[in-house]
Chain A
């Protein structure tokens, strides 16, 4: 944790005119250039000497990066440069994707959220990312511009390890797209921090469900933050909630399965054991809250 410099180290600020130019530049300067959005993580990591990039490639003003668009037939697209406060305030998000607003509200402070972005939260690939769970359970798909042009990358399998993703040199995530959500859906994000505002999650639990033709009558999706090297989907817990009629026992069984799925670490914010126990408690609460919202 040695902070070698009083401020930021020297770097070149690059603002390409197009996505292709940006991708080429990033690929050519692999390992020494990084796409730049809000900078809320980038600058801290550079100041602390963890990242030593020579180039900061500002892509946030390129076409479409700053847009939120909603189409009732295709869904929601949030440009990579849209800050979290705009997401929280968006009427379309509030009406059709309220879980995303609920999760974004728990990130840091209002000031930070004026810079921080959803796509940045995802690309940062911290297991503690508060909005990642919502993006996973609502079927978010990343739009990526690379050397070979545009492609889509689902969030399933996107995270490889802490800070590591499947993105390749030259890749720039330009937006996240969400499908139209099934009728009657409901979600809940519960974050546990050491203080009421601004701490990183000791544990975060995202729960999401919608009515479906299943034994329980619902399709359930869950995601857990800060309990594994990557954002974790406890599949067995999802299956329990989907595959059996919902009772207090089913919820308890699913909560136990969620706890068993995680593999947290001890750190200054909490021990692994406390985290596991809280996953069980908070999963139970999140699922119960979702059921109440569904009815």
Chain B
């Protein structure tokens, strides 16, 4: 029996946050601080011929203006360094004078106040030579489009393929074949706290950046690389983080904050600097979820057994790589669903365009892949006249069945159990397949029509594909006879998901002490090493194991009378392997989470509006270390996926963002979200997870869009291969909004 694991204890950050004591990056102030303001390019593709800062520099209160020539190594990037820190002439990297999307940064003003910095920014004169805008990923890779990065043929940033069996040999044997082209949209993270930070030189002489991110160690590396300084001269500290969802994995204000401090110090000015992006700057300045075009054909036998799948994925990477190659890997894994298919052919491309950069976002390529796979399953069920739940159970992965990349899944596969759980708890009944709506012979639909839909999903935990996943923690026990205080040092970012609380629970459980004895020291590269990113649903699993192990070591030292007893651990996940370049064969991941959802909708056939009346979500989390936080993550993921599916509509025209604020880009409010969510926690322990825990922050997101689309089909008989399913799209599909109107 565990004492603290499995209990919904109060979050360790609750009191500070609800009383307003907690400092977010924008809340930190220094007496003599200077302010930064960024000049964004605000044009999608152009060469900068000249930058004239003389008028801006002459403005009283302006302390300095940074441009490309001031950046020691003017190139950075999480996966590959392909983005200039500042675009403009004088860049020491090839192509650094070219702006590739509206959010490219051109200059940074340092001034006595934010207002002066903004005024000076508007006085900077930039001479641009506009270049042709590449805004369509299919055109971008066609061979006819201009090349956006040196040495990148046909703008193909990344390509992956899978070859298993031979689909072409079995299409004849399929009783049904479903062929579709899916288009998934951009999505903005819309975290409450826009990018912000402060920076200064600390007492040890390190350039210290306070900000909000997802991986302190990686931020430190990227800053050091761009500034051409050793990493130990850079210190990154996370203040409280107001949401991240992947949008803080890549650099935003980190490098320019450090650069400004360096620039000032070189001129004998030792003053802290501060920056806060406003919402519009945030929306054009950070990445979005990848829009994807997924062309796919699946075939099944009359008994429902899947035989073959052929998939082509075209992912719009936007202007720079960010994490596009890794996101694409996840889409490859998820695009054939949690099912065994003997014959598979996948070709996947991430393509550079001049659109806003795409990057990490909760699900990391999974929601796009899952949409295609689950839509295909629901369409096959409809064509076969089969219960979509039964069809899934017939094909679901089990420990002995192989993924499309040719290997089995380690650590338990509970897909069938989770599907059964969701079907049972939602009282799922199959009453026959609905025929497709024919707009030429429209049915006389009543104003309100209801429908139910089902979808399943699986998602990896951790960064893998051959990368050796690792996570660091340190535990220090103080006291005499009894442990009076246990200091737990971790670097994992609490982005709002409750990570720190869960680490405190694990430490307290292992050490056999009460929670009030645990003191967390977190997210400061001065005394924490790398715990890895707050991504890929990985922190509970990875950092949880590191804390468990460090606590066990510290405890044995304590029992050996060491005072204080200090131990650290770097936990290494089981080995994985990269995609084989020819066949895609690999052991991609060491762990997965499994989820299934039933959704009930009402469609208003007069306005086209969809309301979601009920969601039943069953999620195998391995072990719920803090059940209330698990439910919070399920509900949060569903609300975010709800916006993705029917409301959020990020519009870009010729590379320019038409929805740069929250009056044009709407996210769901309390009256828009599903009326009712039943969260069902399934616990099939993972043999390597701490106390059996898997990851779970992303999984409930994956089946939502296809489950809603299936419910809408059940209601009105129309498959929506493109979303968000806006009211206008609904009415057009019903033949009600026609071109003659």
Contact = CB atoms under 8 A, between A and B. Distances in A.
Contact of B666 (A3, A5, A199, A277): A199
B165 interface: no
> Which of B276, B726, B728 has the largest number of chain A CB atoms within 10 A?
B728
Interface string B259-293: 00000000000000000101011000000000000
For the residues of A in contact with B, the DSSP-based class is loop
Interface residues of A, number: 28
Nearest to B604: A281
A276 B741 CA distance: 7
B352 to A, nearest CB: 25
Contacts of A197: 669-672
B496 to A, nearest CB: 23
A192 interface: yes
Interface string A252-295: 00000001000000001111011011100110010000000000
Given A268-B659, A276-B741, A281-B607, A1 B280 contact: yes
A6 B115 contact: yes
A34 B670 CA distance: 36
Interface in A179-218: 192, 194-200
B495 interface: no
Interface stretch (B138-146, B170-178, B690-698, B731-739): B731-739
Interface in B654-708: 658-661, 663-664, 666, 668-672
A4 B122 contact: yes
Contact of B114 (A6, A270, A271, A277): A6
B115 A5 contact: yes
Contact of B741 (A196, A198, A273): A273
A276 B740 CA distance: 11
B671 A195 contact: yes
A272 B262 CA distance: 53
A7 interface: yes
Given A5-B115, A6-B118, A277 B741 contact: yes
B647 interface: yes
Contacts, number: 70
A196 B672 contact: yes
Contact of A270 (B660, B670, B728): B728
B119 to A, nearest CB: 8
B562 interface: no
Contacts of B118: 4-6
A44 B650 CA distance: 22
B668 A195 contact: yes
Contacts of A198: 669
Contacts of B670: 197
B42 interface: yes
B647 to A, nearest CB: 6
Contacts of B731: 274, 277
A5 B663 CA distance: 18
Contacts of A199: 663, 666
Contacts of B658: 268
B669 A271 contact: no
A285 to B, nearest CB: 7
A3 B731 CA distance: 36
Contacts of B114: 6-7
B606 A285 contact: yes
28 contacts: A1-B280, A1-B660, A2-B42, A3-B278, A3-B281, A4-B118, A4-B122, A5-B118, A7-B114, A194-B649, A195-B647, A195-B672, A196-B669, A197-B672, A198-B669, A199-B663, A268-B658, A268-B664, A269-B664, A271-B737, A274-B731, A274-B737, A276-B741, A277-B736, A277-B737, A278-B607, A281-B607, A282-B607
Interface of B: 37, 42, 114-115, 118-119, 122, 276, 278, 280-281, 606-607, 647, 649, 651, 658-661, 663-664, 666, 668-672, 726-728, 731, 736-739, 741
Identify the 4 closest CB pairs spanning chains A and B, nearest first: A196-B671, A274-B728, A6-B114, A277-B737
